[in-house]
Amino acid sequence: MNKTVLVTGASRGIGLAIAKKYADQGFNVAFTYVAENRKINETVEKVKGDNDVKVIAYQLNVTSVEQCEEVLAKIYEEFGTIDVLVNNAGITKDMLSLKMKNEDFFSVVNTNLGGTFNISQLVVKKMMRAKTGSIINISSVIGSTGNAGQVNYAASKAGIIAMTKSYAKEYGKKNVRFNAIAPGFIETDMTNELPDSLKENILANVALNRFGQPEEVANVAYFLGSDESSFVNGQTIVVDGMMI
Ligand code: NAP
């Protein structure tokens, strides 16, 4: 029987590449998006491709515990189990801290860190009972380095690394693994909006002398969800081409 992955925020960017990777490897895929106007049927078809797998998209704001409960109930009814969870949904609201509003701090922390907690809490209970599962949280290199203009984002991504290690310590005995991925600069909508001068500065500090592609993060996300990584737990894998 096919295994099932749930990927949050997979309507585009890194999440979409992860959902596609798992479908290509024979997983059934449940994925989420938040915006009203997404042409989501096209995205479902893109993820499915020619694979003989089930792919269903669910609209979900990960900051709402109520919505998380409702959507998770639907996913379990449709798919039976979730074998791999990828907490990928995330946002930025960049601003130097002097000018950052409370609401911009908390909306980023509540989405990136709070959303990861909201979904993990619901999924880990079932994985614990099944005595198997892998949860992958998408952090960022900024969670270790910090970044001017990203007090909110950096705090949320550092929190994800610490949260991942703590969950890993709690659930290791139940054979549920938690790992994080810390991407560097990956070409998606999130980074496309940055000014060219900033992009040039960042590029000058990447040893591989190029930006990453969503598929290069997806390959690592697949490794961490597969049995190939069966003794990897509580780790953060950096995927940044070596930022120096
Ligand atoms: P993206 O292209 O902006 O896509 C973000 C995804 O998250 C979309 O699917 C979006 O849904 C969803 N989303 C946003 N707010 C949500 C909410 N409240 N509830 C549920 N879903 C929500 O971003 P990306 O660049 O692929 O980034 C994906 C993850 O990687 C994020 O956690 C980001 O912080 C992390 N990351 C990215 C980079 C990079 O260089 N791109 C580097 C390090 C880490 P809609 O499409 O419906 O809006």
- Is 90 exceeded by the pLDDT of residue 85? yes
Give per-residue pLDDT as tens, 40-71. 999 999 999 999 999 999 999 999 999 999 99
CA 55–ligand 1 middle distance (angstroms): 19
Gap between the Cα atoms of 25 and 82, Å rounded: 16
Nearest Cα residue to atom 33 of ligand 1? 90
pLDDT tens for residues 91-142?
999 999 999 999 999 999 999 999 999 999 999 999 999 999 999 999 999 9
Atom of ligand 1 nearest to the CA of 185: 40
Residue 38: per-residue pLDDT: 78
What distance in Å separates the CA atoms of residue 196 and residue 54, rounded to the nearest whole number? 40
Whether the pLDDT of residue 37 is over 80: the answer is no
Rounded to an integer, the average pLDDT of 220-239 is 98
Give the residue, by CA position, lying nearest to ligand 1 atom 2. Answer: 13
Q: Confirm whether pTM is higher than 0.95.
A: yes
What are the Cα distances from residue 93, in Å, to 16, 31, 100, 135, 159?
21, 24, 9, 26, 17
